[in-house]
Amino acid sequence: MLWSSEQSCPVDEPPCAGTWFSIHVPIPQTVVHASLFVAVLSGQYFTVSTSVDPLYRQRFFDPLIADVAVSSAGRDAYLEREAHDDRAH
């Protein structure tokens, strides 16, 4: 388990409980590292697929962008209304 930096556990036998941004999680550190590795690979695959394959981009990426645009417009309208209400009082 050298790749996971586990040499000894303060409480029990390995696998030790992991950390995520200095927060202790009840998952072994090896699982945290493996999950991060898979997440990075998935993100790279998504990025390459959306930039190379126009059909993939049309079916999966464009709807995500549309949802983000709607959410951003709703947030902007909310913040504008809040700012207007604050000025009115």
Query: What's the pLDDT tens digit per position in 13-59?
Result: 666 778 878 888 888 888 888 999 999 999 999 889 888 989 988 89
The predicted structure's pLDDT at residue 27: 84
Helix (H, G, I), strand (E, B) or coil at 17: strand
Residue whose C-alpha is closest to residue 4's, from 22, 26, 19: 19
Q: Residue 4: pLDDT above 60?
A: no
57: Cβ contacts below 8 Å, ≥ 6 apart: 49, 50, 51
Query: What global pTM score does this model have?
Result: 0.52
Residue whose C-alpha is closest to residue 50's, from 38, 35, 65: 65
